Amino acid sequence: MIALLASAVATGYLPGALLFRLPILDRPRRAALDPAERAFWAIVISAMLTLSVSFCLAAFGHYRWRYVLSADLILAAVVAASGRRRLLYDGTARANAWVLAPAGLIALALWVFPQPSEYIIGGKDPGVYMNAGVQIAQRGSLVIHDAAVSSLPTQARDLFFPQHDGRPYYSNRFMGFFLFDPDSGLVIDQFPHLYPTAIAIGYGMAGLTGARYAATACAVVGVLALYFLGARLVGNAAGAAAAGLLAIHVVQVWHARIPNSEVLAQGLLLAGLLALARAHQDDDVFFAPVAGLLLGLLMFTRLDGVFAVGLASVGLALHWSVGGRVRIAFVATLTVALVLFAAYLLIWLAPYAQKPQVWVAVNWMPLTLVAVFALALLVVAGRLRHNERVTAGIRRWLPHAVTAIVVGLAAYAWFVRTAGGRLALHDAESLRMFGWYVHPAAIAAALAGLALVAPRVFWRDPGFFLVACGTAIFVFHRIRIVPEHFWATRRFVPVILPAVLLGIAMTLSSPLAPARLNADARAIRAARYILRLAVLALVAWGFWNVTARVRPHVEYAGVIPRLEALAARFTVQDLIVVESRSASDMHVLALPLAYIYNRTVLVLSSRKPDKAAWLAFLKWAWAHYRAVYFVGGVGTDVLSRDVAGTSAVSERFLVPQYDSPMNAYPERVRLKEFDFGVYRLVPRSPALPVIDIGEGDGLNVVRFHAAERDARGTYRWTRALSYLILIGVPADARQLVLWMDNGGRPASLQPAQVEAFFGDISLGRVVVGPGMRPYTLPIPAEVASAAASSPDAATVRLHTVTWRPRAVLGATDQRELGVMVSRVEIRRPP
């Protein structure tokens, strides 16, 4: 714990605190800031530098946690040695009661954001982020040179990595991980890497636990950034109220506990906008490069960060057009960041950049016209910026115009906009969908706060207003994400939700009655203020009622120890083959097995791999690995005349997963089931086929119900149509023996008749009675000979007359049940 705290201080506070204290760039202005804000900037600057150093090291394949820690300590030592006693503040701002507000917000956030999720599995974006971050920590690079891929024989590649023609990468290694070059095993994940870099830093501090808390740390910084941004813009009370509402809002709480880049984007964007205002509206030159770097890093977090940076730049251009000053340090820093981002996008993120490149190519003419128009506006603004009459008109009417546009579009989206034609339902309903998370009355209050307060404070931070309003228009015009909740709410995290909550809190920005008013007037204004506090309390109460239902939930709780136990069953000398995505969800466990627990894992691309290529691959694998295992459920055709599977272990566990409906609000916790077996693939022995149903039979049964156990042993229920996969049927086989039981079928129903087909040949019908006993069916000689000569496994098809306990007995069992099967044997003539 001491080492963790020391490393957190060394990388998350010390460098920024010392740089902030350097007696350069008009330090008295910084010294005059609130002590809490000075501490906030120490944290933000330190995190910004640590992220930048880590990202650069990883980009060139040299990331190591000890290198980052050393770089921060060396920087701190150099600054301390150069500044020495001059680092002491002289004439700092006097603290007031509001200095305690950030500490209270941190305590609130840490109380509301309990244990983070165990979302390390693949399949969706959070798992991609987590595994990409751990890979940076373990391998030290943004790109992965995967030995499991590069060592694979060329002729076996299509079994696992079918080539994608017409795409800027060869195939998929896992969902969200692109395989560029199978010869070198070059793999890169799908998304920008700054958030995975934050995960890598957390992993360096505290292993997988630290990696999971990366989102929580980012969310806390976002809450603080909103407080300081709101306090500067409309006062401490409004800032604290907005930040408090954000801390308890269900969207913030959810994303504070699940891997996502939006929470990092939130902190970078809000802090960057605050720094931009400090540099230009408050004329503090120190914050110019800070703002440039924060907004520059935003682009390395999310591609749509370019849009936010563009809107912030428009706000700065407006500030310049009415006579304000633009800091060259900001422009230079942001320009360098843009150039580096363009190189990063084209080199490291080629697949991710494909759609934006196509969009730019298709829309190059409108984009050119927009660029020419913007340049012309800048030229005109440059000519008129010293015209006091024009600038006064812009200052007076632009805030009202922005407010009118936003309120008008909100009214249209809420009351008029409907789906139809090319407008999808979730796009048409996007603002109303936001109303599931922020009550419509609260949205109206936010718009009212904007209309009342924005004209008065717009020019204190035009960048914030333009970024918030422009992003809201962009998102609510097209939600641009699968409407699967809570996943869809990510779009609200960086700025829309904070801005709406700040709009609600703006009602607190009006001061109490000045002293010159009489007692009655002051009493009336105080009553109005109390009423506003009551409305704010009602909003907070509504938020908390929703959040309280989600707060105890930990997404995928328990999956980490399950994966650790599964990984412990294998060594680094073993090869693990996982069934394909078309067969089950087992591929979501394959990703962390490979990229967190460092096991050699391949995922089949098909549930029916080519037999010849599969056998050739297995012969190669048996020669190169200690053992070859298959992990999966039922329905994957991996057995043949030459390949058998011996059961190593059967697993079944449930993990909590919150409801995630399409175009609907999530209401409850569901359970995600993992039911699979681990089988060792070996060359087939000459023994006759025998299957103990329910015990390691996953490779031999298809379309049976889940295995069950009672006093009679293990068994499975058949469905109307079920299959048995038999390996090694000899040419002299003459009997198929099935141990079956009708399972207590009511006498009033049709008898439990079962017809067995060997391939396309019917072996006969039997009526299954009560009690588990053998039923013998003859196998024709020509059928056995054909099965023995075929390289494929033999398939026995069972047609059963079924019934439903729910419909007949009123029981809770809704399954379609045939008969209970406990054992299958192939026998030679007696």
Give per-residue pLDDT as tens, 188-218.
Answer: 998 999 999 999 999 999 999 999 999 999 9
Amino acid 800: pLDDT:
95
Contact 365, 372 (CB under 8 A): no
Give per-residue pLDDT as tens, 682-722.
Answer: 888 777 888 888 887 878 888 899 888 887 788 999 999 99
Better-scored residue on pLDDT, 381 or 386: 386
> What single string gives the DSSP state of each residue in 477-520?
H---S--BTTGGGGGGTTTHHHHHHHHHHGGG-SPPPPTTS-HH
Residue 84: pLDDT over 80: no
Residue 373: pLDDT over 70: no
Q: Cβ neighbours of residue 206 under 8 Å, at least 6 residues apart?
A: 4, 213
> What single string gives the DSSP state of each residue in 709-732?
EETTEEEEEEEEEEEEEE----TT
What distance lies between CA 771 and its chain's CA centroid? 51
Residue 402: pLDDT over 70: yes
Contact 89, 28 (CB under 8 A): no
Average pLDDT over residues 360-388: 69
Amino acid 93: pLDDT:
63
Return the residue matching tokens 């770097």.
Answer: 293
Please, which pLDDT band fits residue 31 given cuts at 50, 70 and 90?
confident
Please, which pLDDT band fits residue 104 given cuts at 50, 70 and 90?
very high
3-state secondary structure of 119: coil
Among 1-5, 155-159, 160-164, 728-732, the least confident range: 1-5
Give per-residue pLDDT as tens, 498-539.
Answer: 999 999 998 766 544 454 556 666 677 777 777 778 888 889
Give per-residue pLDDT as tens, 245-296.
Answer: 999 999 999 999 999 999 999 999 999 999 999 999 999 999 999 999 999 9
Amino acid 649: pLDDT:
79
The average confidence (pLDDT) of the chain is: 90
Q: Cα–Cα distance between 55 and 36 in angstroms, integer?
A: 28
Amino acid 531: pLDDT:
76
Amino acid 455: pLDDT:
86
Helix residue ranges per DSSP H, 581-633 = 587-595, 611-624
* CA proximity to 566, closest of 556, 576, 551: 576
Give the percent of the chain with pLDDT over 90: 63
Amino acid 513: pLDDT:
42
Q: Which DSSP category does 819 fall into? A: -
Please list, residue by residue across 84-109, b when 16 or more beta carbons sit within 10 angstroms of its beta carbon and e when fewer do.
Answer: eeebebeeeeeeeebbebbeebeebb
Residue 760: pLDDT over 90: no
Which structure tokens are listed for 228?
A: 């300081």
CA distances from residue 749 to 694, 742, 744, 766, 818 in whole angstroms, order as listed: 27, 11, 11, 16, 12
Q: Cα–Cα distance between 351 and 7 in angstroms, integer?
A: 36
* CA proximity to 505, closest of 227, 242, 245, 249: 242
Number of residues in the chain: 830
Amino acid 351: pLDDT:
75
Please, which pLDDT band fits residue 360 given cuts at 50, 70 and 90?
low
Residue 456: pLDDT over 70: yes
Average pLDDT over residues 626-638: 86
Amino acid 367: pLDDT:
64
Give per-residue pLDDT as tens, 655-686.
Answer: 999 999 998 999 899 999 998 889 999 888 77
Amino acid 512: pLDDT:
43
Average pLDDT over residues 569-597: 94
Amino acid 788: pLDDT:
87
Q: Is the dihedral of CA 232, 236, 242, 244 positive or negative?
A: positive
Give per-residue pLDDT as tens, 167-188.
Answer: 778 899 999 999 999 999 999 9
Q: Cα–Cα distance between 179 and 166 in angstroms, integer?
A: 14
Residue 597: pLDDT over 50: yes
Among 320-324, 454-458, 549-553, 686-690, the least confident range: 686-690
Q: Cα–Cα distance between 349 and 347 in angstroms, integer?
A: 6
Q: Cα–Cα distance between 616 and 808 in angstroms, integer?
A: 51
Q: Cα–Cα distance between 255 and 489 in angstroms, integer?
A: 9
